Amino acid sequence: MRVHAQDHYVEIVTTAGWDLVMLKFSDCVEKLKPLEGVQCHRSRWVRLKHCRWISSCGSAYVCEMSNGDAVPVSRRRYALVREWLNRASRPT
């Protein structure tokens, strides 16, 4: 569902639970490429099928996940995440 960098560790959250793994965030994001997801912040990655929507929270953006988690989205990556979600929600 989502990945969060924490110092030298990466918190991995799935529908089955979560785990903390000693791994570089960039290596983790590289391994997640086969899954449809996007790095929404310098320390966050989300799998798009679990993103419900993006909302603004003051001057910041937040991605609401299917499990209720709120993941920050950087202003720099907001347009990219929004475009991915728009593409994913369009009928094929």
Residue 4: count of CB within 10 angstroms of its CB: 21
Structure token digits, residue 43: 């320390």
Say what the pTM is: 0.88
- Rounded to an integer, the average pLDDT of 37-47 is 95
**92 pLDDT higher than 70:** no
pLDDT in tens, 48-86: 999 999 999 888 899 999 999 999 999 999 998 888 888
E strands, the chain, where? 2-6, 9-14, 17-22, 37-41, 44-47, 51-57, 60-65, 70-73
